[in-house]
């Protein structure tokens, strides 16, 4: 039984920063259990934001957030984070944490992720 719990979302102004957290339970990090952040805005499909390798810590980012967002992990706590800087209104979305047993840094489509949290809302005003 895998559970993911996101936290840290909120209402901020453009240019502000937020840090999201995702605590995972029921699954030990391994090379086959990459974790990532996704987001979904109203009327749009869920899209990839960032992913981190379970073992090496290597990362990958969507072009839209590269240079502004940083994903990190704490294996001891089974937790990943998303540091979001220079937020823009277009970053407004419900942010989800996911675990993908079949995912990798080159396979990041949502369909390859097996488990999801409930999401945490990030709203950026202009």
- pLDDT per residue as tens digits for the range 37-84: 999 999 999 999 999 987 788 999 999 999 999 999 988 888 999 999
Mark out the alpha helices in 67-109 (DSSP H runs).
Answer: none
- Cβ 50 vs Cβ 37: under 8 Å: yes
DSSP 42-77: TTS--EEEEEE-TTT--EEE-TTTTTTEEEEEEGGG
The predicted pLDDT at position 125 comes to 98
- pLDDT per residue as tens digits for the range 98-126: 998 888 888 889 999 989 999 999 999 99
What tokens appear for 122 in the block? 């990030």
């Amino acid at each position: 039984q895998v559970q993911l719990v996101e936290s840290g979302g909120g209402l901020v102004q453009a240019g502000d920063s937020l840090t999201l957290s995702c605590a995972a339970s029921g699954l030990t990090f391994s090379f086959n259990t990459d974790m990532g952040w996704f987001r979904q805005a109203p009327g749009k499909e869920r899209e990839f934001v960032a992913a981190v390798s379970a073992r090496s810590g290597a990362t990958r980012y969507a072009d839209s957030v590269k240079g502004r967002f940083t994903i990190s992990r704490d294996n001891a706590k089974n937790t990943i984070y998303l540091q979001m800087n220079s937020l823009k209104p277009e970053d407004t979305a419900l942010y989800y944490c996911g675990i993908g047993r079949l995912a990798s840094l080159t396979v990041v489509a949502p369909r390859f992720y097996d488990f999801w949290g409930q999401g945490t809302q990030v709203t950026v005003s202009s």
